[in-house]
Amino acid sequence: MQKHPEFAEHAEVTPAARIATASHGWRAKCLQRLIRLDLPVPRTVALPFAAVRAIAAGHRPDAAAILAAFGPGPLVSIRPSPENPDWGGPGTMLNIGLNDERHRQLAETHGQAAADALYLRFVQAYAIHVARLDPDMFDGTEPSAEALRAALRAYEQETDEPFPQDPALQLTQALRSMARAWEGTTARLLRQAKGAPADAGLGLIVQAMALGMGLGVSGSGVIQFVDPVTGTRQITGRYLSQSLGRDALDKGPDTLYLTRDPRGPSLEEHAPGLFADLLRYGAACRSRLREEMQIEFTIENGALSVLDAVRVPRSSRAGLKVAVALAEDGVIGRDEAVLRVEPRALSELLHPQVDPRGGRDVLVTGIAASPGAAVGRITFSSAGAQASAARGEPCILVRRETAPEDIRGMHAAAGVLTERGGMTSHAAVIARGLGLPCVVGAAGLRFDPRDRCLIAHDGRKFREGDIITLDGTAGAVLAGEAAMLAPALDGDFRKLLSWADEFRDIGVRANADTPADAETARDFSAEGIGLCRTEHMFFETDRLIVMREMIFAGSATDRAAALDRLLPMQRADFIHLFDIMAGRPVCIRLFDPPLHEFLPHTREGLRELAEALDRPLSEITRRAEALAEFNPMLGMRGVRLGVVLPEIYEMQARAIFEATIAVGRRGVIVVPEIMIPLVSAVREVELIKTRIDSIAAQVRTKRGADFAYRLGVMVETPRAALRAGDIAQHVAFLSFGTNDLTQMTYGLSRDDAGRFMSAYVSQGVFPEDPFHMLDVDGVGELLLIGAERGRGARPDLTLSICGEHGGNPESIAFCRRAGFDYVSCSPYRVPLARLAAAHLALRDRLGDTAKETS
Ligand code: PEP
Ligand code: MG
């Protein structure tokens, strides 16, 4: 069978004509489908890509043969028909064939004024788009007999020829100009930016004009059957009545409502039969073209014509609603509904968004660190944010960068903006966890903390209390209050995701540190917690102090006292998490506190700590200086803390096991997973494992209860990936922490890279921010090596990814191909990950089906 025949000749579009999207474009194919549905499409001829290419190259089209299909005195339009509607194409040309003779006839049938207006518009369009004359000479004239004469005169003066009277000549020139416009550099670049291949073809559609004006009921309009923004089933569109009958002659065109409306007359009342036909056509398109279509129509003396039908342009939320409705009505399958919704589009539904229909006064752009949008008053301190929240006033917390002290403020704020930082800096990670819109690395904004103001590029100053809008989806800060769209976490959203789960074949867990995160994760149907960063459980002010006491303890006795206070807190936290997750797996990472995140940064913080520890300020300051590291991300972090100060991890293991027993007694059976962070040597694992096993034995004996647990390692240093074979012999799972792994593979600070990342990306050094998009070539190779060596040593090893990349469709595809068991990502990215994973499985299935049938 011939697959995509490229017919060099034009063809009339009939039900049986050989028309294909790949050779004639989407519009030609769509019109053929409408004709097959018996819709009243005016006579149409389609020129395939090959013919249009030949015309652009200088070949003369057989215009007379094309026009022969339209009978004597033809009037036609030409529309573009690229393979994909998003690839644009030259503008439609109307009324080709209009000349002095036809103008006279139209004056008789439709009245002088209407005929003059039509001819004038045609002369103007032809002069500008076909003869390429100066638009200033032709644009914007109000129609009148004099204006028409002037336009014809201007045309003749400029070209030294009278306005062409031969319809075949007009058609030839118009086809040539449209074919050449498609080949132009700007058009080419524009469509390539939308994914068109360099050799994308253009088809052209020549269609009999259906004027939409006449003595009886006449007019033109567009009708849609769903709301493009919300997706709700309702009729929208417009209708312009152009009835030239005695009553309407003087009034000119009239806008009518489509459906009955108390504000004025409607097409539904004016022409109920035609209105009912339109509804029928909409329903036919929906069920047979399996899509919500927008129909462009004209009515001439009571006769309805369908000129074109396109997929209703729609927002993400409308797209989801339409897909679910089509599947529920049995028009498409659930698998197709799932595939019709882009995973990335979901984040638009999870959070409030800036309404795309409103204006945008962009002050600065930065890194889109956490999606959603918020309007609020600027506040420069966490205390200010909390005070705002207490007054019930939304605020945007603006900081140079955030630290654990800011957690309270972040909780209280509607959005977070930082001057510094990248995709995995403190503000970004926490904001994503909280589902808070966040823009980081907004380096174009001058932040003057002393004067408490922000200064935009254009010099505008914004002070504390001024209102801004933070667009975390686009990574932009807007002046003032932008119009917003509310989230759409409705039944359709949940339904589509539950269908996605039927198809997906890789697990999706959530990174959740607190009970609130865990509840969000459970609400989004995460299959478990893939990473609980236990140090984040101590970011709250009252707890931070206990954590600091532990870190600052100068002696084993002091540390033991601090650990005694931490143990019950940890135990209660774990009980809470286990209860929320109700038996689903929970992977708890032992402490990994980069010291710079936990040392007080201000004199106030140092004083508070001195008070809490009942020590002189000078001693605390000295100790803080002694603990300070030049390179804290590569310092006393993760397992290093566990090796040097074993009692810390011992306390955590005890808390986990005691919590396991406590919930077990209530019937919640948990097999906790304990994960060791920042491992680089197998000996680290051996040491920690021995101690944890011994704590497990102690707790079993002391409590007289048994339990199981699984030990794992977080692979986030390149060496751990390379030595995964040795490490796997001691553990049940490996989880790749791609934030640190990216940082260490590139030697790129995750907290500082934001400063130069955009320069690096814009100059093509990195194709993308590697903290955002997994670097499959380098970091990805380490993942593959780690997975292969780990599974080689232990075939039943569980493999996962828990860095921020875990929620990206591209990383999910990579991990799925590498045979990973699950991905873990911020709770708010769980829906996206579930849908992306389903897409991958479905596409594989479709690929297999295609292979089988070829
Ligand atoms: C990682 O490094 O990828 C990770 C998940 O841990 P964190 O972001 O807490 O360092
Ligand atoms: Mg890490």
Note the pLDDT of residue 324. 97
Note the pLDDT of residue 850. 62
> pLDDT tens across 406-456, in order?
888 898 899 999 998 888 888 998 888 788 999 999 988 888 877 888 888
Per mean pLDDT, which range of 26-30, 141-145, 182-186, 770-774 is the poorest?
141-145
> pLDDT tens across 781-834, in order?
999 999 999 999 999 999 999 998 999 999 999 999 999 999 999 998 999 999
Ligand 1: nearest atom to the Cα of 743: 2
Sheet containing 362-365: which strands, arranged edge to edge?
Answer: 362-365, 476-479, 467-471, 373-379, 395-399, 415-418, 438-440, 367-370
CA 759/CA 754 separation, integer angstroms = 10
CA 510/CA 523 separation, integer angstroms = 11
Contact 376, 391 (CB under 8 A): no
Listed residue (56, 65, 63) closest to 172, CA to CA? 63
Ligand nearest to the CA of 639: 2
Number of H helices, E strands in the chain: 34, 31
First to last CA, the chain: 10
Host H or E run for residue 311: strand 303-311
β-partners of residue 774 are none
CA 553/CA 558 separation, integer angstroms = 5
Contact 728, 789 (CB under 8 A): yes
Give the pair of three-digit tokens for residue 623: 């100790």
Among protein residues, the one with the nearest Cα to ligand 1's atom 3 is: 737
CA 145/CA 116 separation, integer angstroms = 6
Choose which residue among 736, 802, 823, 829 to substitute to test ligand 1 binding: the one with the highest number of ligand atoms within 8 A of its C-beta.
Answer: 802
How does DSSP assign 227-272, residue by residue?
Answer: -TTT--EEEEEEEEE-B-STTTTTT--EEEBSS-BTTB-BHHHH-H
Tell me which residues are annotated as active site.
426, 802
Contact 17, 32 (CB under 8 A): yes
Give the largest Cα separation in the chain, rounded: 106
Question: What residue ranges line ligand 1, CB within 6 angstroms?
Answer: 531, 533, 592, 716, 737-740, 802-803
Among protein residues, the one with the nearest Cα to ligand 1's atom 9 is: 533
Choose which residue among 423, 517, 532, 533 to substitute to test ligand 1 binding: the one with the highest number of ligand atoms within 8 A of its C-beta.
Answer: 533
Amino acid at 246: R
pLDDT confidence tier of residue 246, bands split at 50, 70 and 90: very low
Per mean pLDDT, which range of 53-62, 255-264, 306-315, 592-601 is the poorest?
592-601
Burial 394-408 (b: 16+ CB within 10 A, else e): bbbbbbebbbbbbbb
Note the pLDDT of residue 17. 95
CA 145 / ligand 2 centre spacing (Å): 76
Listed residue (772, 571, 576) closest to 658, CA to CA? 571
Ligand nearest to the CA of 535: 1
> pLDDT tens across 322-366, in order?
999 999 999 999 999 999 999 988 877 888 888 887 888 999 999
Ligand nearest to the CA of 800: 1
CA 176/CA 270 separation, integer angstroms = 42
Ligand nearest to the CA of 589: 1
CB atoms within 10 A of CB 317: 25
CA 804/CA 741 separation, integer angstroms = 11
> pLDDT tens across 628-637, in order?
888 888 999 9
β-partners of residue 455 are 446, 461
CA 814/CA 203 separation, integer angstroms = 37
CA 441 / ligand 2 centre spacing (Å): 20
CA 800 / ligand 1 centre spacing (Å): 13
> pLDDT tens across 529-552, in order?
999 999 988 877 778 888 888 888
Note the pLDDT of residue 550. 86
3-state SS string for 669-730: CCCCEEEECCCCCHHHHHHHHHHHHHHHHHHHHHHCCCCCCEEEEEECCHHHHHCHHHHHCC
Ligand 1: nearest atom to the Cα of 737: 3
Note the pLDDT of residue 597. 74
Residue 252 has pLDDT above 90, yes or no: no
CA atoms within 13 A on the CB side of 487: 17
Listed residue (478, 458, 359) closest to 415, CA to CA? 478
Question: Tokens 């469709």 label which residue?
Answer: 809
pLDDT confidence tier of residue 4, bands split at 50, 70 and 90: very low
Contact 399, 393 (CB under 8 A): no
CA 685/CA 54 separation, integer angstroms = 69
Give every CB contact of residue 847 below 8 A, 6+ residues apart in sequence: none
CA 166/CA 98 separation, integer angstroms = 9
β-partners of residue 447 are 454
pLDDT confidence tier of residue 623, bands split at 50, 70 and 90: confident
Choose which residue among 424, 743, 744, 774 to substitute to test ligand 1 binding: the one with the highest number of ligand atoms within 8 A of its C-beta.
Answer: 424
Ligand 1: nearest atom to the Cα of 740: 2
Q: What is the mean pLDDT of residues 837-847?
A: 94
Note the pLDDT of residue 849. 66
Note the pLDDT of residue 429. 84
* Helix spans in 57-166 (H): 63-68, 100-110, 112-125, 145-159
Listed residue (467, 471, 439) closest to 373, CA to CA? 471
Q: Which whole-number Å values give the CA distances from 840 to 188, 761, 829, in the listed order?
A: 31, 27, 17
Among protein residues, the one with the nearest Cα to ligand 1's atom 10 is: 740
Listed residue (119, 126, 173) closest to 146, CA to CA? 119
Give every CB contact of residue 575 below 8 A, 6+ residues apart in sequence: 659, 662, 663
Query: Cα 695 to chain center, whole Å?
Result: 46
| CA torsion angle 660 665 670 675 (round to 10) | 0
CA 649/CA 17 separation, integer angstroms = 74
Q: What is the mean pLDDT of residues 249-266?
A: 77
CA 727/CA 79 separation, integer angstroms = 64
Contact 199, 191 (CB under 8 A): no
Backbone angles phi and psi of 457, in degrees to 5:
-50, -45
Among protein residues, the one with the nearest Cα to ligand 1's atom 4 is: 737
pLDDT confidence tier of residue 253, bands split at 50, 70 and 90: low
How does DSSP assign 160-201, residue by residue?
Answer: SSPPP--HHHHHHHHHHHHHHHHHSHHHHHHHHHTT--TT--
